[in-house]
Structure 1
Amino acid sequence: MQLLVVVTCLLAGCLAQRPHPCSSPRLLSGDLTVSTQNEKLWTGAKYLYDALGQRIRVMEIGAYENKSFTYDALLLYKERVMYEINQHDRTCKKMPLKGDFQPMAIPKNATLAGQIILGSSSGPGQGLLVNTWMGDLPEKAGKFMSTVTEFGCIPISTVYHTPKFGWMVTTFFNNVVGISDPGQLNPPAYCLNAGVKVEEEEPTDFLSLFLNKL
């Protein structure tokens, strides 16, 4: 009986703990969508995220101002280069990549907005416990609100506010811890001889990848 009381108290203590900022798994892949408040942009993409090698790849299709597009970008932060890959034509555009790698994480100075259950709490497996956080983007570039799972810190959604588009909503789904084909995080052979092209505005992180190409 005493053991039961102790276990019950420990479980109650764990459930009562306040959520803390967290970091997502260092290897992650899945799908995402991005849409904007002004309804000018919608895109769906497959993503690969490697925090160990500081590499990100996004392969997307979407529409901007009612015009469809495809886009395939590989960001290599350790090499400070980005490749825009055209698999159909087997061509690449290579550009400098400014800024430091930003891990998928809830910053330590973020504020907890709340903890909720997605789905239902009526039965086992019917709901997902998530935490929503709010804070400032790096260098005070705007505001963000991110929702991640309580266990594992898997991204669910992130909302950014930007002057150009207003609120941008990114929704993550089909997330998998790990990367089934790590070779997709290396530039194709036909990209290796691509010359470096300097753009007026170069992407610096995952968010600016969507903003600067439009």
Structure 2
Amino acid sequence: MMKMMKPLLGLCWALVLVLVLVLTGRSSAQMPHRCRTPALLSGSMSVSAREGQDWVLAKYRYDAIGQRIRLWEFGQVQSKSFHADMLFLFREAVVYSIDYKNRTCQKNPLHTAFHPSHIPHNASLLSQVILGGSSAPGEGLLVNTWTGDVPATAGKYLATVTEFGCIPVSTLYYTPKTGWILTTYFNAVTGIEDPEQFFPPPFCAHADTKEEQLDFFSAFY
């Protein structure tokens, strides 16, 4: 089980990283600006890595006010299918892996700070285009694509967000160790319907705490 959890935690952290890179807020109608996501956001995403050999479909809940992220996902990693339910509580510095079927939890120390989602300060505007058509209202979507580097991982990214509302559309993220990771976002809604989703279920109260302390790099790799 622990052998399976490490790649799952890594892919979850990939999702978290992508959220941090591309969820954004306000922008100008005339000149695109780097921006931030709404403080509360719900939606879904698909993730593909290793040329499609690894893939994930996930729902996410993002709370910048409480510094919390919830992920429900299923997919295939290293040729093995999986389901995962993970709750990241940055203020408490813990991450829960929740199994409702067996009513069990795994709890790990979370050794990383919460960073509100934004287009990084070193990002450069690559292009502004219309996805779809432009011959009639409602046929297309005006989007901005930003590019930049992540020196800590020798990585780089392309992040595409909508011009109005700065809703994430897609992200390409690359590091020498992971290769290209493609994330596509859909069904985004501002706000959180059920704040209880950010609280661990009662059966997690006595979860065993694993000694392995996780930060982004140890979980991801």
Q: TM-score range by the shorter chain?
A: 0.7 to 0.9
Q: Partners of 2:95 and 2:86 in 1: how far apart?
A: 7
Contact 1:119 1:127 in 2 (8 A): yes
Q: Partners of 1:79 and 1:51 in 2: how far apart?
A: 14
RMSD: 1.9
Which of 1 and 2 has greater Rg? 1
Q: Percent identity?
A: 53
Q: 1:143 aligns with which of 142, 156, 161?
A: 156
Residue identity opposite 2:174 in structure 1: H
1:94 shift after superposition = 0.5
Contact 1:38 1:165 in 2 (8 A): no
Q: Partners of 1:53 and 1:99 in 2: how far apart?
A: 15
1:102 shift after superposition = 2.4
> Would the alpha carbon gap of residues 147 and 118 (structure 1) be closer, same or farther in structure 2, given more than 3 Å must change?
same
- Tell me the SS of whatever aligns to 2:143: strand
Q: Partners of 1:22 and 1:44 in 2: how far apart?
A: 26
Q: Which has the higher contact order (CA 8 A, sep 6+)?
A: 2
Contact 1:100 1:204 in 2 (8 A): no
Q: Partners of 1:71 and 1:77 in 2: how far apart?
A: 19
1:57-206 correspondence runs (5 A):
57-137=70-150, 139-199=152-212, 202-204=214-216
**Match of residue 19 from structure 1:** 32
1:91 shift after superposition = 0.5
Contact 2:154 2:176 in 1 (8 A): no
Contact 2:35 2:166 in 1 (8 A): yes
Residue identity opposite 2:85 in structure 1: D
Contact 2:124 2:146 in 1 (8 A): yes
Gaps of 5+ in 2: 1-27
Gaps of 5+ in 1: 1-13
Listed one character per residue, the Cα deviations across residues 20-58 of structure 1 (whole Å, up to 9, x for unaligned) are 101011110111011014333100011100011110011
Q: 2:52 aligns with which of 28, 39, 43?
A: 39
Q: Partners of 2:169 and 2:35 in 1: how far apart?
A: 14
Q: Partners of 1:36 and 1:140 in 2: how far apart?
A: 17
1:170 shift after superposition = 1.0
1:140 shift after superposition = 4.4
Q: Partners of 1:164 and 1:68 in 2: how far apart?
A: 22
1:197 shift after superposition = 0.6
Residue identity opposite 1:115 in structure 2: Q
Contact 2:47 2:56 in 1 (8 A): yes
1:199 shift after superposition = 2.4
> Would the alpha carbon gap of residues 19 and 161 (structure 1) be closer, same or farther in structure 2, given more than 3 Å must change?
same
Q: Partners of 1:190 and 1:67 in 2: how far apart?
A: 27
**Match of residue 3 from structure 1:** none
Contact 2:153 2:175 in 1 (8 A): no
**Match of residue 8 from structure 2:** none
- Tell me the SS of whatever aligns to 2:101: coil
Q: Partners of 2:151 and 2:87 in 1: how far apart?
A: 22
State the TM-score, normalizing by the size of structure 1.
0.84
